[in-house]
Amino acid sequence: MLTRGYSQDPHKVLTDALFEEPYNQMVIVKDIDFFSLCEHHMLPFYGKAHVAYIPNGRITGLSKIARVVDIYSHRLQVQERMTQQIRECIQETLRPLGVMVVIEARHMCMQMRGVEKQNAITTTSDFCGAFNQAKTRQELMNLLRGE
């Protein structure tokens, strides 16, 4: 179902696989495929989400990060809000030292109607904590590019 995300609790997903762990370096789950529906045009947008967090004594199962992306993407959405919701959920639930979410998406509302730009990609990001430091954000961006 395209809107099944409304019936799922992303916080519960994260806490179902919560582990005490002293690891405090960056954890990145990248290239998480997602499909969503634009709430303005009722047309799909799709792409990849990249999620990073720096644990503060607690980690979650890696697949749970992808499930959080899935839950928020399976709601009527705008990319900007989805980016914030994913970041806020991880921050509130895990209380890590920092979280950063980057989403790259293609919007059918731009490809099929209006400007009809087939290759346009929209990138959004949201971050907090340790990612407020430019050096930490740059480290993540380098890792996402494979550098």
From the list 40, 80, 133, 138, the catalytic residue is: 40
**Is 128 one of the catalytic residues?**
no
From the list 11, 104, 109, 111, the catalytic residue is: 109
Backbone torsions φ then ψ of 124, nearest 5 degrees: -125, 155
**CA–CA separation, 70 and 74 (whole Å):** 6
CB 73 within 8 A of CB 35: yes
From the list 77, 79, 85, 91, the catalytic residue is: 79
From the list 8, 41, 84, 139, the catalytic residue is: 41
From the list 74, 77, 91, 107, the catalytic residue is: 107
**Is 107 one of the catalytic residues?**
yes
From the list 39, 80, 92, 138, the catalytic residue is: 39
**Is 50 one of the catalytic residues?**
no
**Is 41 one of the catalytic residues?**
yes
**CA–CA separation, 142 and 77 (whole Å):** 28
Beta partners for residue 25, in sequence order: none
From the list 38, 74, 77, 91, the catalytic residue is: 38
**Is 39 one of the catalytic residues?**
yes
Q: Which DSSP string corresponds to 94-132?
A: H--SEEEEEEEEEEHHHHHSTT--TT--EEEEEEEEGGG
Active centre residues (catalytic): 38-41, 79, 107, 109
